[in-house]
Amino acid sequence: MSEDSPRRVRVVVVDDHAMFRSGVRAELGDAVDVVAEAEDVASAVAAVLRETPDVVLLDVHLPGGGGVEVLTQAAAQGSQSRFLALSVSDAAQDVIGVIRAGARGYVTKTITGAELVQAIERVSDGDAVFSPRLAGFVLDAFATGEAPSVDPELDRLSAREREVMRLIARGYAYKEVAKELFISVKTVETHVSAVLRKLQLSSRHELTKWAADRRLL
């Protein structure tokens, strides 16, 4: 790169799935500089403080406390990096949580590579970026002060069980859930059993209604 070339945005990619991180790197290509990857809260905070990236591409559900914990710990230790959440979840509770913790935007994993590069560059420039459907309820929540409260039933589920629950409630087949989350069909079955047991539900139909009642779909 010549001295006259524009400086590329330096990015840290945080996600607990190595295959997903590799996919993100491939999609970003040489449009940005991926300076580090992290798989959980501790490694993410360490990478952010060590590399001081322009933008942190942050999954919401992570081992060790989730994306909110990464934001909280990094800010407490003086990080000036900007955070863009990238998650399979489009639930209001997840979106509002990371925005309240300081993220500058939130996009879902259905985003294309070109759109993701654009979102990263905009966040680096100081803009706020949201997937279109998410922007509406973020504005509504902050305008009315009615951000989602803690749901004790939802809190019984682990982060992974929540992801599986939402996809199953949306009608995904077990194979589709496994492909989306980079896990085995057997693991999906195990999570579904745990979700139904914890929520005291007996079928996918009941699970779909339960999720719809809480606007989790």
Q: Cβ-count burial of 129 within 10 angstroms (0-12 exposed, 13-18 middle, 19+ buried)?
A: buried
Q: Quote the strand ranges of 16-125, DSSP E.
A: 33-38, 55-58, 82-87, 105-108
pLDDT digits (tens, 9 = 90+) for 60-74: 888 877 888 899 999
Residue 83 pairs in a beta bridge with 56
Which pLDDT score is estimated for 12? Answer: 98
Mean pLDDT for the chain overall? 86
Specify the DSSP class assigned to residue 149.
P
Amino acid, single-letter form, for residue 12: V
Which pLDDT score is estimated for 94? Answer: 82
pLDDT at 206 over 80: yes
Which pLDDT score is estimated for 4? Answer: 56
Torsion of CA 208, 194, 197, 171, to 10 degrees: 10
pLDDT at 37 over 80: yes
pLDDT digits (tens, 9 = 90+) for 119-134: 999 999 999 998 877 7
Mean pLDDT of the region 150-172: 78
CA atoms of 115 and 191, how far apart (whole Å): 32
Mean pLDDT of the region 14-32: 93
Q: Which alpha helices (H) appear in 29-78, and where do they start and end?
A: 41-51, 67-76
For the ranges 56-65, 108-117, 148-157, which has the lowest average pLDDT? 148-157
Which pLDDT score is estimated for 5? Answer: 62
For the ranges 41-45, 60-64, 107-111, which has the lowest average pLDDT? 60-64
Mean pLDDT of the region 86-97: 82
Mean pLDDT of the region 166-180: 86
pLDDT interval class at 190 (50, 70, 90): very high
pLDDT interval class at 79 (50, 70, 90): very high
Q: Which three-class secondary structure state does DSSP give residue 161?
A: helix
Which pLDDT score is estimated for 148? Answer: 53
pLDDT at 137 over 80: no
pLDDT at 181 over 90: no
Supply 40's token pair. Answer: 């959980």
Mean pLDDT of the region 165-177: 87
